[in-house]
Structure 1
Amino acid sequence: MEKVKSLDGFYLYKIKKDNKNYYLANKKNYKKDIENLINNLDDLKFDSLVILFGLDTGEYLSKLEKVLCSNNKVIIFEPNEDVFNKNKNIILNDNIRVVLFDEENIGSIFATIIDGNNFDNLYVHAFGNYKEIYKEEYKKLLEAIDAKYFSVSGNITLAYRCKESFMRNSIQNLKVIKESSPLNSYIESNKDVPAIIVSAGPSLDKNIKDMVKNKDKAQKCFVIASNRTFTTLIKSGIKPDLIISIDPSDAMYDMMKESLNEDVPLLYYEYSNRYLVNEYKGEKIYMSNIFSKIIKEINKFEGLSQGGSVAHTCLAMANILGCNPIILVGQDLAYTYDKHHSDKATFDIVDNIITTNWANELVDDVFGNKVRTTTTLKVFKNTMENHIKQYKSERNVEFINASYGADIKGAPHEELSNILEKDIFKVKKKKLQPDKCIDLSPEKVISTIIDFVDTFIEKSEQGMEQCNILSEIKEDKSLVHIDGNDIDFQRFLFILDIVQTFESSLESFYLGGYFNKFLFSIKRESFLMLAKDYDQLTSNMRYQSKVFFNYFIRMNEMLLEAKKIIDDEVSKFK
């Protein structure tokens, strides 16, 4: 690596890669590369996350710093280790960070910096010649960004679409939780027992034939089913040891209505479909993904990792149970045989709109060929691979994929019949015995929810009143240069206190998708500012009062809508 000077007076690096010499940026007109970067940030928002690929000598940093505001964050991925080490002590602003590009770690980095607040507000730019020189690395970076983007956007879309059912389910499921056993009671209860996770992909039809053919050995495994596969297994003569249901929709009830009288334990959480949870006759196991964050009496109880599909929760449960090996069947994550689901696990009520036209992506299958898939399934695949990697790092567990769809990293393919012939049955499986030790008062929780909503309906009205007063002030008061005892400044502090208290209240978790949708929408509706205008607008009292007036209007509307749902569901308790 050699540090040289461009024709227009900037320093840049000349490197050797694959026996060829490259300049990391424009040797003749380095200024043009800097301008391309800065111009790409022309409409930078006040809270945008900037992801850059390539540091070179850092000559662009001073220009970059000038277009940022204090709220922006920048992460620079440097793929050349020599360049990274040469510049790792470079002085940076607090909101700029340089990391060495590592394909194995970029997913975990994005998990900490990309969320529902910024996923649709990312600026991605490859500096200079980095995109051409490090083509594969840049492709991997974009894939990791896309995976995180679709994961977060999918969760937000789900919260939007299911906000009402989330709330109705969580309120009605309160009655069942106190009669259920907690997830904690079963940690490592089936240590070193083989597990079979039964998903509903196109491979399931063949996998079930193998399970039936080797029924005695298959039933020695701890078999975990989902809504889709439970009845199919029962009809095939295979009795699962656990069924997991996390989807909030009524379609889950319809999938299970033929099997409501079975005695297999049902694992559910707060948002699981209320009709299924309430009417299923078997024992119930509660995993707490929401209420343990809010309710003191159950904050010791655990939840499970969720990665977008019920299969991820099944995988997490098998890991919690201590099972080993964990065998995946029907887990295609692709349109194997040009099908979206197994024939045995297709339900017209939810599947009649799915077409193969959606599968316009390609991934490697378990045999090294290409198979069609969708963007969503690729995200599920990425998340599952990350979970498998995590579980393997935590304990000595083997994952085997007996399906015929997408290749799943960390779970090599093997025929199910061959797996069941192995010496894997060293420990006898144990039935999940009831342990009803959850002390919870649904009435007390309902009272807390109602009090919270009523309190902040009133506070939203108080906020609107104060914002109205401030919007009418004649002089252009600054929030930076103002006497702390100024009556209008005190009004503004009162407004901020309502907002901060509301958004930081643990009780906001009770509002579920309503709260998430409100925050996501109001930020884009009222708080959208360019980075270059940030200091001016955030210090202007009159402007801010108008922004917060709209905030309180939307907050009030959201809370009144949520209150109507709560009152409706509570009336059914009586």
Structure 2
Amino acid sequence: MEIQPFISNGNWNVKIKKGNRVVTLHSIDPYQEARRITEHFNTSFGYVLVAGMGLGYLVEYLIKNTNYNVVVFEHTKEIIELAKEKRGLDKILFSSRLKIFHNENDLFDFLDENFIKEFNFYINRQYASLFPEIYQSFAGHITAYLSRKHINQSTLKRFQKVWLRNIVKNSFFYFDLPGIVDITHNFTGKPAVIVGAGPSLMNNIEVLKELQDNVIIISTDTAYLQLVKSSIMPDFIVSVDPQEKNSLYVTGVFTMNYPFLVIDSAVSFLTLVNYPPDRIIIYDTIFPLYEILSRFWGSKGKLKCGGSVSTTAFDLARFFGCNPVIFVGQDLAFSSFKTHSSLNLLESIFLYKTDRFKNFETYNSKILVGADRIEIKGNTTSVVITDRKFLTFLDWFKREIKQTSSAVINATEGGAYIDGCIHMPLKDVIYKYGIDKKLDKHIEIRKNDLIQNREAFIKFLKEVFDLVDYLIPFAGRSLDVSMDLLANFEKIKNLAPVFNKMGEFDKILLDVLKSRKEVGRFIELTMQNVIEKILSRGEEDKLTEELISTWVDFYREAKEGLFYIRHILKKRIRLEERN
């Protein structure tokens, strides 16, 4: 790479030659360019992240003319030194509002440590063109970082009613099932293998089969079928997804000896019904409603979740104090252009539905086309393709591995490079860490007896049911009034009586929410979308049809949500009475 500074239109600029390519980093008027870029930033964000500093015109403009804090990622120190030499930017570069990083891991650590979740992002297009292997990859990582919050919000919206239903239905089992805190074991200091369902899993199957008696095997639910078909019986399965179809991963596999199933307390009711109850262990879900209700059955213990079942499986190994913790099948990428290992139940179901027009290759291609194709460093290859979702998992592992005292080894023979891991083949792990002897695996589980607490809980559910039943007619009347107002917006002259009628429900609902926090948790879960919509509107001093439509949506969602709550509470109370 050759760097050639020159003066153009009275301003320093620089040409960079790399191979047969030559690019100029700045425009003819770099100050005007910097001002124009800044105009597009969101002023509500306190930070600007600049990828590719060049000679520092944008950074200088931001420090001198705005209140933004500036974070710079510049891969070569040579450019920084050139900016100091030619443009005399020493004072700017030592500003307390400026942080410069040459290593992206250090940059992400800074963002995490300072809880910076939102910022304006600008990437120098010339850098992205000249150094795509660095800056396009970096842009993907930034996108994943910014997507964390959005993905969490999207997950909440998608599953809020599912979680509510599952918690209410599953509460039938909470009083009897043990939690991870009830486990006594001898796993501390012993090796554990976390088995994911990544496309490369089959590369490790034969070695894992020989190794199974020498380690604690913690399988994700998605990998369980593959292990059973390969004559490998895990010690534990971990399941976190609340959807009913996810129960098939564990209940659709039949075997003589069932592993312990460690599950999020908000998983599908079908899992709890169809898996042997003496092999189920639960842990506390992060869902706020569960946290309030758990006073009736007590804490089951907590496990972290980074959005993927593998992250929770990893935390279970840490909970046991296992050392080392070894990953296999943890691709976090589309290895060999596939999404999962063969014999994954998801793929098995799809294969059953395939024909010559909709074959398995078409399915994988559709997934890849729909995903963000982001190139990152590979584990066994220089580059692999991943997407934003996988990048959020990688980011979680990076942060958590840093806080883990045990050795963490990535023995996945494919997929993404996981920062913080020791990377080596599974065969080499056996010899280096002396995993060649059969383990004595001992586990005992304490039983629970919470009959009195169960009775108090059912009494509480009946009280919530009565309150919800009381609220429904008021929500219905307010909905009717708001719909009439919308239909006759131009004709109604005296709005006071209309607002009074609509306000009846608002007042009663607020009184209930203030006096019964638990009821509020039930209701807000069924109204999350419209509440967010209302809050996003801000204050308005003019009555418009759009505003009235928002009220209609509010009362409609309130009415439907209350009916939904009453329905699931009624079914849960009846279940208790029948048993």
User: TM-score, structure 1 length as denominator?
Assistant: 0.70
Whether 1:286 aligns to 2:282 is yes
CA contact (8 A) 2:175 2:297 kept: no
1:156 deviates by: 4.2
Alignment partner, residue 30 of structure 1? 31
Query: Which residue in the other structure is 1:258 paired with?
Result: 253
1:318 CA drift (Å) = 0.6
Q: Which has the higher contact order (CA 8 A, sep 6+)?
A: 1
Q: Tell me if structure 1 keeps the 8 A contact 2:376–2:383.
A: yes
Q: CA distance change for structure 1 residues 565 and 175 in 2, over 3 Å: closer, same or farther? A: closer
Q: Equivalent of 2:443, from 414, 418, 432?
A: 432
One-letter amino acid of the counterpart of residue 103, structure 1:
E
Q: Which amino acid letter does the alignment assign opposite residue 498 of structure 1?
A: L
2-structure distance, mates of 1:350, 1:502: 48
Q: Which residue of 2 aligns with 1:327?
A: 326
Letter of the 2:108 partner, please give it. I
Deviations 1:416-452 (A, max 9, x none): 2332234445995543311234745252563465366
For residues 524-566 of structure 1, the C-alpha deviation after alignment (integer angstroms, 9 at most, x for no partner) is 4x4545xxxx6xx456799998566653443333333343344
Written as runs of structure 1 = structure 2, the 5 A alignment for 1:170-569 is 170-186=167-183, 189-212=186-209, 214-215=210-211, 218-255=212-249, 256-259=251-254, 262-281=257-276, 282-289=278-285, 290=287, 291-297=290-296, 300-348=299-347, 350-352=349-351, 355-357=363-365, 358-359=367-368, 361=373, 362-391=375-404, 395-425=405-435, 428-437=439-448, 439=450, 440-441=453-454, 442-444=457-459, 446-447=461-462, 450=465, 453-454=468-469, 457=472, 498=510, 501=513, 505=517, 508-510=520-522, 514-515=525-526, 518-524=527-533, 526-529=534-537, 537-538=539-540, 546=548, 550-569=553-572
**2:445 alignment partner, SS class:** coil
Superposition deviation, residue 454 in structure 1: 4.8
RMSD between superposed Cα atoms in Å: 5.0
| Partners of 1:165 and 1:356 in 2: CA distance | 28
Conservation of the 8 A alpha-carbon contact between 2:410 and 2:422: yes
For residues 49-88 of structure 1, what are the structure 2 equivalents within 5 Å?
49=45, 51-53=47-49, 56-57=59-60, 76-79=70-73, 86-88=94-96
Amino acid at match of 2:528: L
Distance in 2 (alpha carbons) for counterparts of 1:553 and 1:262: 50
| SS of aligned partner of 1:446 | helix
Displacement, 1:317? Answer: 0.6
Cα distance change on mapping 1:317 and 1:458 into 2, 3 Å: farther
Shift of 1:341: 2.4
Deviates more, 1:134-143 or 1:169-178: 134-143
The two structures have a TM-score, normalised by structure 2, of 0.69
Give the residue type in structure 1 aligned to 2:379.
Answer: V
Give per-residue Cα distances to partners, 1:303-353, cap 9 Å, x unaligned.
212122211111111111100111112222233344332223344565458
CA distances 1:267-297 after superposition (whole Å, capped 9, x unpaired): 1122212112122114221110232354324
SS at match of 1:170: helix
Residue 56 of structure 1 aligns to a residue in which SS? helix
Equivalent residues of 1:79, 1:134 under 8 A apart: no
Secondary structure of 1:286's aligned partner: strand
Q: 2:61 and 2:569 mapped to 1: Cα distance?
A: 55
Is contact 2:186–2:441 with CA below 8 Å preserved after alignment?
yes
Unaligned 5+ residue runs, structure 2?
1-7, 17-23, 51-57, 75-79, 81-89, 354-359
Looking at structure 2, the residues matched to 377 and 423 of structure 1 have their Cα atoms a distance apart, in angstroms, of 29
Tell me the distance in 2 between the aligned counterparts of 1:452 and 1:435. 37
**Worse-matched range after superposition: 225-234 or 419-428:** 419-428
Q: Within 2, Cα distance between the matches of 1:464 and 1:138?
A: 52
In terms of mean alpha carbon deviation, does 98-107 or 369-378 score higher? 98-107
C-alpha contact 2:238 2:263 (8 A) present in aligned 1? yes
Is the 8 Å Cα contact of residues 189 and 321 (structure 2) preserved in structure 1? yes
Alpha-carbon separation, structure 2, partners of 1:155 and 1:226: 21
CA distance in 2, matches of 1:368, 1:503: 59
Residue identity opposite 1:563 in structure 2: R
Specify whether residues 99 and 319 from structure 1 end up closer, same or farther in structure 2 by C-alpha distance, changes over 3 A only. same
Q: Give the Cα separation in 2 of the matches to 1:187 and 1:275.
A: 27
What SS class does the counterpart of residue 258 from structure 1 fall into?
coil
CA distance in 1, matches of 2:198, 2:280: 26
From the superposition, tell whether residues 364 and 556 of structure 1 become closer, same or farther in structure 2 (CA, over 3 Å).
Answer: same
Deviations 1:377-432 (A, max 9, x none): 343333333332332xxx24332324332222222332223322344459955433
Counterpart amino acid of residue 560 in structure 2: E
Distance change >3 Å, CA 564–CA 170, structure 1 → 2: same
Q: In structure 2, give the amino acid aligned to 1:325.
A: P
1:371 Cα deviation from its structure 2 partner: 3.2
- Distance (whole Å) between structure 2 residues aligned to residue 123 and residue 380 of structure 1: 23
Contact 2:462 2:573 in 1 (8 A): no
Greater shift after overlay, 102-111 or 441-450?
102-111
User: If each structure's helix is expressed as a fraction of its own residues, which one has the higher value?
Assistant: 2
> Is the 1:172–1:274 Cα contact (8 Å) retained in structure 2?
yes
What is the one-letter code of the residue matched to 1:226?
Answer: T
- For 1:333, what is the secondary structure of its paired residue? coil
Aligned to 2:86: none
* Number of equivalences: 507
**Structure 1 residues 140 and 345, CA gap change in structure 2 (3 angstroms):** closer
* Deviations 1:9-33 (CA, angstroms, capped at 9, x unpaired): xxxx999999xxxx99989563553
User: Do the aligned partners of 2:202 and 2:341 also contact (CA within 8 Å) in 1?
Assistant: yes
Distance 1:17 1:435 in 2: 70
Q: Quickly say closer, same or farther: Cα 1:454–1:356, change in 2 above 3 A.
A: same
